[in-house]
């Protein structure tokens, strides 16, 4: 568990700066899709017993290194598209839903897969998690807002203007 904790700490430390300089939308896409793709690779490695336990741990280290900044960015990014007055409420709702799914449902679901001791069951649980991660990355890419080098007020103003244009049928 210690290497995974170290990876979860080091990932945001080294990759986090690129969310503001290169862009959150692009980085969310990259980190979610890359970590999901690595998880797909890991599932194949696990299913067919290709690598040793140590090699699988190294792969998990890289997955956590890349996935942790993605997860860290999600809570702040969701608030950017809301007006300043609603930002804290949006973050609270987003965080509560994420905690409910990721903190309550996921451990029970994946715990049942692991307790089955079935290699196929665990393999498919990895696949399911990878597909969710890649789907989140694609969702962020297509529906995210470019926020690099912009203030939060400017971002929410631009989003509100786009909403008004959609209502008027200009988009």
Q: Choose the most confident range, by mean pLDDT, from 54-58, 70-74, 147-151.
A: 54-58
**Within 10 A of 65 (CB to CB), how many other CB atoms are there?**
24
Q: Look over the chain and give the mean of its residue pLDDT values, rounded to a whole number.
A: 82
- The architecture in CATH of the region 2-168 reads Up-down Bundle (1.20)
Q: What pLDDT score does 6 carry?
A: 94
Query: Tell me: the pLDDT tens digits for 2-22?
Result: 888 999 999 999 998 888 788
Q: How far is CA 99 from CA 3, 43, 65, 137, in A?
A: 23, 25, 20, 19
> What is the distance between the alpha carbons of residues 18 and 28, in angstroms, rounded to a whole number?
10
Q: pLDDT at residue 171 above 60? A: no
Mean pLDDT, rounded, for 10-35: 90
Per mean pLDDT, which of 2-11, 47-56, 86-95, 110-119 is the most reliable? 2-11
């Amino acid at each position: 568990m210690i290497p995974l904790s170290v990876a979860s700490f080091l990932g945001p430390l080294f990759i986090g700066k690129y969310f503001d300089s290169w862009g959150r939308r692009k980085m969310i896409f990259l980190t979610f899709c890359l970590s999901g793709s690595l998880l797909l690779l890991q599932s194949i490695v696990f299913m067919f017993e290709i690598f040793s336990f140590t090699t699988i741990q190294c792969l998990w280290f890289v997955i956590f290194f890349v996935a942790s900044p993605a997860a860290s960015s999600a809570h702040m990014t969701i608030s950017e598209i809301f007006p300043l007055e609603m930002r804290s409420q949006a973050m609270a709702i987003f965080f509560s839903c994420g905690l409910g799914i990721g903190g309550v449902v996921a451990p029970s679901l994946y715990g049942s897969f692991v307790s089955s001791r079935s290699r196929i069951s665990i393999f498919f649980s990895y696949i399911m998690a990878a597909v969710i991660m890649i789907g989140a990355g694609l969702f962020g890419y297509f529906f995210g807002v470019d926020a690099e080098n912009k203030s939060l007020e400017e971002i929410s103003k631009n989003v509100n203007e786009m909403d008004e244009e959609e209502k008027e049928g200009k988009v």
